[in-house]
Amino acid sequence: MQQNKPMNDQPKIADKLQSIPSGEILLDLVVIGCGPAGLSLAAESAKEGLSVGLIGPDLPFTNNYGVWEDEFKDLGLEGCIEHVWQDTAVYLDSNEPLLIGRSYGRVSRNLLHEELLRRCFEHGVTYMNSKVEKIIEECDSHSIVVCENEVVVPCRLAVVASGAASGKLLKYEAGGPRVSVQTAYGIEVEVKNNPYDPRLMVFMDYRDSMNDEVQYQNSEFPTFLYVMPMSSTRVFFEETCLASRTAMPFDLLKERLLQRLDKMGIEVLRTYEEEWSYIPVGGSLPNTDQKNLAFGAAASMVHPATGYSVVRSLSEAPTYASVIANVLKKSVQSKDIILYDRLIKRVSLQAWEALWPQERKRQRAFFLFGLELILQLDVEGIRVFFQTFFSLPNCHTNLTYI
């Protein structure tokens, strides 16, 4: 949910990409979902020579994405970063910050949207502005993507990249870990008496800045402040509940943020933007024996303990697209329906294995352990945990885990 955010600078997808051809034309791949994960996978798959259709509502990017600068440089997306802080700070229980020693950037949602759309256009991705109702597997091993108003798009393979709420299009493992939630409320504001150094991005501020009543509420929902100083007077503040079993109410997050700013003596002069963030974390992996594929949050690629996902989706899109393309190209040579069906199932299996190899599953199990630990800790326990974490040798390397 967003408010007062300028979105007119982002072009409509339909104005940039040609429409998916109507009729019985069979696409190699349909990507469902038009967020960063969907656009990047569509572009990379088309770059591999596949005919790719993109289906989803024609909506702008709305979230504020924060990234480690070096990771976005590795993706060739440094031009999409609108502001860089040369170092990143963590405050736990004192006014002395722990400096991480790694530069952090704020992504321009407009520039990222524009760049991913440019890549889709360059490689010939086509588009349909519609929600998807279901995916039907035909007896000839092709799939039919059924959209609104019974419009159908035939394809050899479909990938769901429409976010965490994709349960009607995918099957997930039964009996997996329960889904928890990360919630946040943020404002970009003009302020007086900003105590934060504009040269530093504040990754976490867990210091007490509350009255006794709010501190009591904090025992159920521990929160921290995330700060992006755009200048000495313009700042993005976000009150974040890292993880909870039930979602922390947004009105409580807003109340806590405003009380925190007031207690710190920060006077808000003007509000430019408001942001409400709701990120499911944890939960089950998709079933890897299903033909339909997934990517991004729909594929449970959100970090279970921190909610980060964009960089992983953007970085893994080329490899994932390559696996899909290589096996699809081999299967197209077969005229035998039974053999073709086996080859298509092999495409899905290899794609799932590329996305979730055993090492990744083991790593995710470790992250889930971290999530479960965070869910059990109170504010003081979280401070001790992060004090220890950020004091470890090679802190820069340890950030891979978050």
Sign of CA dihedral 163, 164, 169, 171: positive
Averaged pLDDT, 374-394: 88
The Cα–Cα gap between 394 and 369 comes to: 22
Per cent of the chain over pLDDT 90 is 75
Dihedral (Cα; 290, 360, 277, 106), 10-degree rounding: -130
User: Binning pLDDT at 50, 70 and 90, where does residue 212 land?
Assistant: low
User: Binning pLDDT at 50, 70 and 90, where does residue 214 land?
Assistant: low
Residue 339: predicted pLDDT: 56
User: Binning pLDDT at 50, 70 and 90, where does residue 22 land?
Assistant: confident
Residue 322: predicted pLDDT: 96
- Per-residue pLDDT tens over the stretch 288-337: 989 999 999 999 999 998 889 999 999 999 999 999 999 888 776 555 55
The Cα–Cα gap between 80 and 72 comes to: 9
Q: Which two tokens stand for residue 266?
A: 């920060």
Compute the chain's Rg from CA coordinates. Answer: 22
Residue 94: predicted pLDDT: 84
DSSP 218-240: HTTS--EEEEEESSSSEEEEEEE
Per cent of the chain over pLDDT 70 is 89
**How far is residue 291 CA from its own chain's centroid?**
23
If you average pLDDT over every residue of the chain, what do you get? 90
- Residues with Cβ within 8 Å of 176's Cβ and at least 6 positions away in sequence, in order, are 283, 284, 285
Averaged pLDDT, 11-29: 92
Averaged pLDDT, 187-216: 86
The Cα–Cα gap between 313 and 334 comes to: 32
Q: Which two tokens stand for residue 30?
A: 């349909």
- Per-residue pLDDT tens over the stretch 7-16: 668 999 999 9
Domain spans in the chain, listed from the N-terminal domain onward: 2-61+109-174+287-375, 65-105+178-281
- Per-residue pLDDT tens over the stretch 229-279: 999 999 999 999 999 999 999 999 999 999 999 999 999 999 999 999 999
- Judged against a pLDDT cut of 70, whether residue 218 lies above it is answered with no
Give, in words, the CATH class of 65-105+178-281: alpha beta
SS3 258: helix
Give the H or E element holding residue 217.
helix 212-218
Sign of CA dihedral 11, 13, 17, 22: negative
User: Binning pLDDT at 50, 70 and 90, where does residue 120 land?
Assistant: very high
Residue 272: predicted pLDDT: 96
Higher pLDDT, 63 or 68: 68
User: Binning pLDDT at 50, 70 and 90, where does residue 105 land?
Assistant: very high
Sign of CA dihedral 51, 56, 61, 65: negative
Residue 213: predicted pLDDT: 56
The Cα–Cα gap between 52 and 50 comes to: 6
User: Binning pLDDT at 50, 70 and 90, where does residue 340 land?
Assistant: low
Residue 279: predicted pLDDT: 96
Q: Give domain 2-61+109-174+287-375's CATH number out of 3.50.50.60, 1.10.10.10, 3.40.50.300, 3.40.50.10540.
A: 3.50.50.60
| End-to-end CA separation in angstroms for the chain | 24
Residue 141: predicted pLDDT: 73
Q: Are 68 and 81 contacting, i.e. CB atoms less than 8 angstroms apart?
A: no
- Judged against a pLDDT cut of 70, whether residue 356 lies above it is answered with yes
Tell me 68's DSSP state: E
